[in-house]
Structure 1
């Protein structure tokens, strides 16, 4: 939701009352500057064609916008005069000022669907892609119905994420360690973290904050070569410092001395491969009371029931694999951010059987270390999978690779299928399959 809408509406209506009360007594232009939304203070003299095109496209993204004035037009022309690279950094300088004027000068039918920053990003995208690069159809196809836009009320464009990640990366090298690298998966995880950070409330539950920190730690693992190669753990101090940075809390601690506390090194986590132990199976009394101490979950009954059904499906899948695991233990595993796809693998369960009786904090570290060593995220489906599901050196899983091959057959295959019909086509396909098996 647009955070300032109610304040904007009240200010605009009060300003219009001042016009009504002073008719015939005060020059209307003496009120100019009080409210940039006012169509009386800022009447439209002429509407350029470029603005007409912009306005038509903008209305497709936000149906609540009603009208504009001379200030809206002036702000758009200012945006068009700003260099593309400077304009992309929309939270600073002249770009920020022009966007503020544009968004505040628009009149709305009711509270907008998009957030304030969502509307500003859409404005930048329209200016750059639809007006300057003449890619209106392509842009509309990409953004109309966009899941992120619908879910969050705004989108993070790649150029936006790259700018923000570059700033974070430079800070990280200075504040933490200069021994870092950047991968595509790092930027992708950072983008997801930015979305989730915006959803965290000031009084957010401890459970959600800890889950958010686990995602930060997973992102940091992709930035450190030694962590990935040797299974070292990222220290809690580093995660806390990055958490404060991302949430904007680091300024609050600038006056505090932290020379001894500044995390400039890794914490090595030793791997203890002990003998396999049995999980507490069908014995509720063996489970600790901590497992029943669930933090503030949603009061939505339907969501709770869906979660229970989902966890029961996981339990049945594990049972078919030979593991009779209590729902409470599945809840515990999921609390550490492990997906159902990973839980229901022999590789994960074999490791979990040796560490399940550790305290939560140590168990979290061990699970994270196992995930770093044994799983990776597919760049296409963005799903965490076992490394054995990838070909050596490939960043997309074998399942996605097969999908890509089906969607994009080679030119030779297309020509062959065009020329060959009936039984002969089936014969050629069989020959191709045999060649693949032989190779």
Structure 2
């Protein structure tokens, strides 16, 4: 959140002036507004109270939540629930499309959750880190026979003991890691440097480590980590390879470093601010509509 704190403060300031002080017809939307998204007219259930208590133990700067926080977090938990009897599409292409669609919806909901929270000052965690904290907590929700959300007793321990989160202040999930590695493979094939034949758990572990280096990957002290990653890959040999021994080639090491810096770790840049401000999900609605929305989620799930 440290990366978007100033932006959120400016949105809050403009919204207060344009909406509540000057009563303009068109105004800056603020998903964190405690007046527009009041919680005193809805029931804040125990599942959320437990979430907030654990969340604040990591994100110490989190000060207030509102109806946006509550409803969008609920939608996220429901969206990511996996039933034991759920059948997945047999077509890999169809499965990938459905995964991408759900992932985009997840990102949209989590974006609103993060932006709906009021922070007393800048956190040590960036936005991606706060999202990681939310995801770790939400992974531990289970559903009772009455379809109530229940948080298991290991949640706090698993969150506070997560080494990746504590070390890097965010988590690269397995699905995300696979997507980034696929982009890495595509890049190698596009520029016809080398072709990867096989990768193992060690490869993916090393890949995650160098992604976490971010811009520091260019530091000389980290060069051996990239070399270790190169050596962990099994390459397809063919005469057209520009690098006959890619597992030890210094030029390939340089290319990998340059590409990771250029693409910020093979991450697609997203402009979620514009989408957020124009989205119907964050437009002010009256409290009755908010209540009906919450009850509809409970009824359907």
Q: Aligning the two structures, in what range does the TM-score lie when normalised by the shorter sequence?
A: 0.5 to 0.7
Where relative contact order (Cα < 8 A, 6+ residues apart) is larger, the structure is 2
**Secondary structure of the equivalent of 1:185?**
helix
Name the residue aligned to 2:139.
Answer: 128
Name the residue aligned to 1:238.
Answer: 252
Name the residue aligned to 1:181.
Answer: 198
| Aligned partner (choices 46, 49, 61) of residue 42 of structure 2 | 46
Give per-residue Cα distances to partners, 1:277-319, cap 9 Å, x unaligned: xxxxxxxxxxxxxxxxxxxxxxxxxxxxxxxxxxxxxxxxxxx
| Aligned partner (choices 62, 65, 68) of residue 65 of structure 1 | 62
Superposition pairs of residues 100-249 of structure 1, within 5 angstroms: 100-131=111-142, 136-173=152-189, 175=191, 176-197=193-214, 199=216, 208-224=218-234, 234-249=248-263
**CA displacement at 1:168 relative to structure 2:** 2.9
**Secondary structure of the equivalent of 2:228?**
helix
Structure 1 distance, partners of 2:150, 2:260, is: 35
After superposition, the Cα gap between the structure-2 partners of 1:131 and 1:124, relative to the gap in structure 1 and judged at 3 Å, is farther
Give per-residue Cα distances to partners, 1:114-134, cap 9 Å, x unaligned: 221010112122222235696
**Secondary structure of the equivalent of 2:134?**
helix
Q: Which runs of 5+ in 2 are unaligned?
A: 83-95, 144-148, 238-243, 265-301
After superposition, the Cα gap between the structure-2 partners of 1:43 and 1:232, relative to the gap in structure 1 and judged at 3 Å, is closer
After superposition, the Cα gap between the structure-2 partners of 1:185 and 1:101, relative to the gap in structure 1 and judged at 3 Å, is same
Name the residue aligned to 2:146.
Answer: none
Aligned residues: 236
TM superposition score normalised by structure 2: 0.64
After superposition, the Cα gap between the structure-2 partners of 1:236 and 1:89, relative to the gap in structure 1 and judged at 3 Å, is farther
Name which one, 1 or 2, has greater alpha-carbon Rg: 1
**CA displacement at 1:219 relative to structure 2:** 0.4
The answer on whether the counterparts of 2:230 and 2:248 sit within 8 Å (CA) in structure 1 is yes
**CA displacement at 1:194 relative to structure 2:** 1.2
The answer on whether the counterparts of 1:88 and 1:124 sit within 8 Å (CA) in structure 2 is no
Structure 2 distance, partners of 1:149, 1:97, is: 22
Q: Which runs of 5+ in 1 are unaligned?
A: 201-207, 251-439
Name the residue aligned to 1:3.
Answer: 3
